[in-house]
Amino acid sequence: MPDRCTPECERILSKMGSLAAYGRAVALMAEFLPLGHMPAIETARRRTLHKFANALPELRRAAELAPGNGRYAYVYAIALNSTGAQPQAMELLETSHKRHPADRDTLLALVSIARESGDFATALLHARELVALYPSDMQLRLLILDIEKRQVH
Helix axes 104-116, 120-133, angle to 10 degrees: 160
The answer to whether residue 86 sits within a structural domain is: no
The answer to whether residue 114 sits within a structural domain is: yes
pLDDT score for 1: 46
Domains identified in the chain, total number? 1
Alpha carbon separation from 49 to 26, 72, 125, 133, 151 (Å, rounded): 18, 18, 29, 33, 30
Domain with 144, as residue range(s), is 101-153
Residue 55: burial class (beta carbons within 10 Å; 0-12, 13-18, 19+):
middle
Determine the Cα–Cα distance for residues 105 and 75; give it in Å rounded to an integer: 10
**Per-residue model confidence as pLDDT tens digits over 53-91:** 777 888 889 899 998 899 999 999 998 998 889 999 999
Contact 9, 41 (CB under 8 A): yes
The mean predicted confidence, pLDDT, of the chain is 81
**Per-residue model confidence as pLDDT tens digits over 113-142:** 999 999 999 999 999 999 999 999 999 999
The answer to whether residue 140 sits within a structural domain is: yes
The answer to whether residue 2 sits within a structural domain is: no
Determine the Cα–Cα distance for residues 59 and 80; give it in Å rounded to an integer: 10
The model scores a pTM over 0.75: no
The CA angle 58-62-64, to the nearest 5 degrees, is: 115
